[in-house]
Amino acid sequence: MGDRVPKGRLARGSKLGRLAAGQAIRGVGTRLSMIGRTEQARQVLSERSTLQAAQQLVTVLGGLKGAAMKLGQMLSVLDVDLLPEAHREMFRVKLAELRDQAPHVAFPAMRAVIEGDLGPMTGVFADFDESPIAAASIGQVYRARLRDGRAVAVKVKYPGVDDAVEADMRNLAMFSKLWKSMLPSAADTEVLEEISRNIGSELDYLREARTQHRVAARYRGHPFVTVPDSVGEHCGPHVLVTEFLEGEPYQRIRALPSADRDRIGELIYRFYISSLFADFEFCGDPHPGNIMLAADGRLGFVDFGLYHSMDPVHVEIERVCLRFAGEYRADELYDMWIRRGVIDPESDITAQECLDYVWAAAGWHLVDEELTITPELATGALILAVDPRAAEFRGMRQQRLPAEHVFSRRADLFTFAALGQLETTNNWHRIAREWLYAEPPVTEIGREVARWRADA
């Protein structure tokens, strides 16, 4: 990876000087190869201890309920081909079990939930299809028509799921030793509490209805993105009614020509990543199942149970850290991580390790070249972010991820994973510069969005 650049040499130059110094160290091929570090990720996954911990993890999650399915859905976007061949099928089967283990609840029981919140169904709905169109982690989704004629999606909690998820969250804390072996950076008590608090917030359908209404208002009239509004007067603690979004699922989007996938990839990036830095809010559940291509050509986003607000101070910390990494200012990145308590100053972690670690996990925002995101690349980034056992990252196992950054980092990594499923190409850094450096957009989509915002 080259010798570490002396601090004085970088400190003396302008920003352009620092960038030139960094580019003198690393060629384009080397910078690209830093992202995801797929070969190092393979080494991590080939270790017997990792495989045993991963097997334990999916076994434990298999004994949970709503939360297990949510985690299974998240893991399903990863590329198990990075695993040793002898273990791939076992993990495919176990992850499929987690992903697909939604309870099959007969409609009479679900009807009781609906009427418990809304009263007699005939007073609200003109038509109601009793066959669910989707099974979410904590409920089922139905298609219906309101008495005023509007087509709606009706998300209904499974009976008793609140207690089940709360029990799951308590169990996750009990399995902290297991998490420490499999996900070292997520084993801290504060981190587990943050995970529990946010996944538990998915149970609050009234909160989700308010959130979705706010986000839908923000994107109303957007040239490229649509968010169905909630129907607040027909939402309750256990029932969420929203406008129905007619569209093609992600699987169909994946089959589109590359130019269409590249355009859609940019929209996904802007919705899930740029929103954090523009609005200090973001959706913490970037999953292909929540993205569809609407009939009018816009890209639709649903499911706002894990929508998260972030203190602008913490957002600025993330921005500055990425700028330090992108400009190869290793010592300044290291100093900030010391101040934030991410790493222990008494440890033997070096500034160069910190720099290389950021590039492996988040370098796709930083490299000023076109990059095609593949499932392998995204999986490698996630593995090295949460389980940095590759030789040059071994010391990073002792890092402490501050709880306030847990879900923003999760959103970043799982957006990368969702884009990997799309195998989309872009110069992501050129888009990122809008929020990294407050520069004007250079893409056609970015310029059109900027015009729309100015006129809104």
Provide the annotated active-site residues.
285
The span from the CA of 456 to the CA of 219, in Å, is: 10
Segments in 143-235 forming alpha helices (H): 161-174, 176-182, 189-201, 205-219
> 307: phi > 0 → left, psi -120 to 50 → alpha, else beta; which?
beta
Cα distances (Å, whole numbers) of residue 382 to 36, 183, 316, 337, 387:
7, 10, 23, 20, 8
DSSP 337-371: HHHTTSS-TTS---HHHHHHHHHHHHGGGT--S-E
State the pairing for strand pair 281-283/307-309: antiparallel
The span from the CA of 12 to the CA of 329, in Å, is: 12
Contact 430, 364 (CB under 8 A): no
State the pairing for strand pair 299-301/225-226: parallel
Instruction: Give phi and psi for 140, each to the nearest 5.
Output: -115, 155
> 48: phi > 0 → left, psi -120 to 50 → alpha, else beta; which?
alpha
Instruction: Give phi and psi for 308, each to the nearest 5.
Output: -135, 135
